[in-house]
Amino acid sequence: MEWTLAILFVVSALLFIISMSKSGRASKEKQNEIDMIHMAVMNEINDVKETIRDIELDIEIVSKEAGVQISSQEKLFLREILDLYKRNYSIESIADKKQVSASEIKQLLTPYLTSKDERRKVADEI
């Protein structure tokens, strides 16, 4: 009886050691997988940041070449109204939202309205 208990105790200790080593390996593999995913995401984020930086530089170059000089507040205002317009807000609702006249909004959006109409004309001609 004593031998049986001793053998069972030794076997259980061996099984415990084996299970701990296997779980340690499994956790290391999972950690390596997490690290690889993290590195891939960080690389993608860096690529996106670099692309955004390139686009910002291109915009700056184009605006300097075109001779357009507007303040950052004017850029922000124009960006906001253009975003609202692209999301199909009416000119009147944009004017109400920004608390300016509809004619001023239409004047600011005129370059973007004509390019949209020109594309439609070209598409209709084809």
Residue 54 lies in a domain: no
Cα gap 77→71, rounded to integer Å: 10
pLDDT of residue 123: 54
Return the H-helix or E-strand segment holding 16: helix 2-66
Residue 26 lies in a domain: no
In order, the DSSP letters of 34-97 are: HHHHHHHHHHHHHHHHHHHHHHHHHHHHHHHHHT----HHHHHHHHHHHHHHHTT--HHHHHHH
Residue 83 lies in a domain: yes
Residue 58 lies in a domain: no
* Cβ contact 86:94 at 8 Å: no
Structure-token pair, residue 121: 């004309």
Residue 75 lies in a domain: yes
Residue 94's CB is within 10 A of a number of other CB atoms, namely 22
Structural domain that includes position 75: 70-126
pLDDT of residue 121: 56
**One-letter amino acid for residue 66 of the chain:** A
pLDDT band with cut points at 50, 70 and 90 for residue 54: very high
The mean pLDDT value for 106-124 works out to: 66
Residue 104 lies in a domain: yes
pLDDT band with cut points at 50, 70 and 90 for residue 115: low
**What is the phi-psi region of residue 58: left when phi exceeds 0, alpha when psi lies from -120 to 50, beta otherwise?**
alpha
Q: How many domains does the chain have?
A: 1
Structure-token pair, residue 24: 């340690």
Q: Model-level pTM?
A: 0.49
Residue 116 lies in a domain: yes
The mean pLDDT value for 32-45 works out to: 96
**pLDDT tens digits, one per residue of 59-108:** 878 877 787 777 778 888 888 998 899 898 999 999 999 999 989 999 88
Residue 30 lies in a domain: no
